[in-house]
A and B are shown apart, each in its own frame.
Chain A
Amino acid sequence: MNKISVGSRIKFTLSEIAQLGVLGALMFGAQVALAGLPNIEVVALLVIIFTLHYERKALYIIYLFVLLEGLAYGFGLWWIGYLYLWTILYGVARLFRKNTWALGWGIIAGFFGLLFGTLSSVPYFFTGGLGGGVAYIVSGIPFDLVHCAGNFVLVTTLYTPLTRLLEKVRQATRKL
């Protein structure tokens, strides 16, 4: 099978390039679909699952998603946070990659939701000073609590079925 090299280490098959593109678009579509529900999202779940399956290549999915978010909603201050927020979750998922318990991933996603406002506040410390940054964190706490609960429930319940589904898809695409 033909492989395409990026740098000296990562090699892609054409099938993988197509998969990464589709999954990045899927992640964006899932975010848009749930945009009406405040801080209820499946992006964290998808980042975890894609990281476990695609390892370093998952970064291409994540940054395609981030680019699409910027194109759709504008490259505002919030977008700077997106440049590192999902990569932090990627790093944590890589760190705990041997974990196979859905509940364990639910706990990790819950903490990520709880810390989301604090992690995304960094640009606001630069624009609004110490007071502005702290105000941003404090005003966002109720939404972080909802984010935490939503992530915990969604990841705990959907991690196993979605992992199985992705494994089936990957097996099917290997034959292509």
Chain B
Amino acid sequence: MNKQKRSLLIAGVALLVIVAVVAGVYFLILRPQGNAGLKDITVEVVDLEGNKTSFNISTDAEFLRGALEQAELIGGTESEMGMFITTVNGITANDGNQEWWCITQEGEMVMFAVDQVVIADGDQFELTLTQGYE
């Protein structure tokens, strides 16, 4: 390998490392930050038939997962994005039937995993058993 080619590869690796470090710093700055203190939140569980059950949770948890676990409302498996919710209020999604739990906040789809959803006093969330992946 000649000197020019070697320099090019070293520059490529260096650029990759720099971009990765910048992305990491960007994440540390922009990642969701939890709120300390007691909060009262409402969680509505909707089953496949549309039946709704409402829960009021008082919690010190900073993220939604902590609050839901404190209320013993959810169960699931750990995934690369955090907990993948499979069971809510004793209702387990049937994967074979393409069922999954959709998390929304006042009707708006939540883009973060349940581990990363920051909660604040007065927040309202819905956990809806949904059929179909489309």
A→B interface (CB under 8 Å): 38-39, 73-76, 101, 103-104, 107, 110-111, 114, 124, 127-128, 131-133, 135-136, 138-139, 141-145, 148-149, 152
> Taking CB as reference atom, which chain A residue is nearest B9?
A103
> Could you write out 10 A-B pairs with CB less than 8 Å apart?
A39-B80, A101-B5, A107-B9, A128-B111, A131-B111, A132-B111, A135-B111, A138-B26, A139-B113, A145-B24
For residue A132, which residues in chain B have a CB less than 8 angstroms away from its CB? Answer: 109, 111
> Taking CB as reference atom, which chain A residue is nearest B82?
A139
Which residues of chain B from 13 to 42 have any CB-CB distance to chain A below 8 Å in the complex?
A: 13, 15-16, 19-20, 23-24, 26-27, 30-32
**A111–B20 alpha-carbon span in the complex (Å):** 9
**A28–B79 alpha-carbon span in the complex (Å):** 20
For residue B15, which residues in chain A have a CB less than 8 angstroms away from its CB? Answer: 107
For residue B80, which residues in chain A have a CB less than 8 angstroms away from its CB? Answer: 38-39, 143
Most buried by A among B1, B27, B134: B27
The answer to whether A124 touches B111 (Cβ under 8 A) is yes
Contact among A38, A76, A142 with B134 in the assembled complex (CB-CB below 8 Å): A76
**A136–B109 alpha-carbon span in the complex (Å):** 12
The answer to whether B133 touches A152 (Cβ under 8 A) is no
For residue A107, which residues in chain B have a CB less than 8 angstroms away from its CB? Answer: 9, 12-13, 15-16
Given known A101-B9, A104-B9, A141-B27, contact A128–B98 (CB-CB < 8 A): no
The answer to whether A110 touches B16 (Cβ under 8 A) is yes
**A143–B82 alpha-carbon span in the complex (Å):** 11
Given known A76-B134, A103-B13, A104-B12, contact A114–B112 (CB-CB < 8 A): no
**A131–B116 alpha-carbon span in the complex (Å):** 15
Please, how many residues of chain B have a CB less than 8 angstroms from a CB on the other chain? 29
**A75–B98 alpha-carbon span in the complex (Å):** 11
For residue B19, which residues in chain A have a CB less than 8 angstroms away from its CB? Answer: 111, 114
For residue B24, which residues in chain A have a CB less than 8 angstroms away from its CB? Answer: 141, 145
The answer to whether A139 touches B81 (Cβ under 8 A) is yes
For residue B30, which residues in chain A have a CB less than 8 angstroms away from its CB? Answer: 138
For residue A111, which residues in chain B have a CB less than 8 angstroms away from its CB? Answer: 16, 19
A95 vs chain B, min Cβ distance (A): 14
For residue B116, which residues in chain A have a CB less than 8 angstroms away from its CB? Answer: 139
The answer to whether A75 touches B134 (Cβ under 8 A) is yes
B15 vs chain A, min Cβ distance (A): 8
For residue A136, which residues in chain B have a CB less than 8 angstroms away from its CB? Answer: 111
Most buried by A among B15, B16, B24, B133: B16
For residue A143, which residues in chain B have a CB less than 8 angstroms away from its CB? Answer: 80-81
Q: Across chains A and B, which 6 residue pairs bring their CB atoms closest together, nearest first?
A: A74-B133, A38-B80, A141-B27, A76-B133, A135-B111, A107-B12
B108 vs chain A, min Cβ distance (A): 8
> Taking CB as reference atom, which chain A residue is nearest B30?
A138
B45 vs chain A, min Cβ distance (A): 22
For residue A133, which residues in chain B have a CB less than 8 angstroms away from its CB? Answer: 111
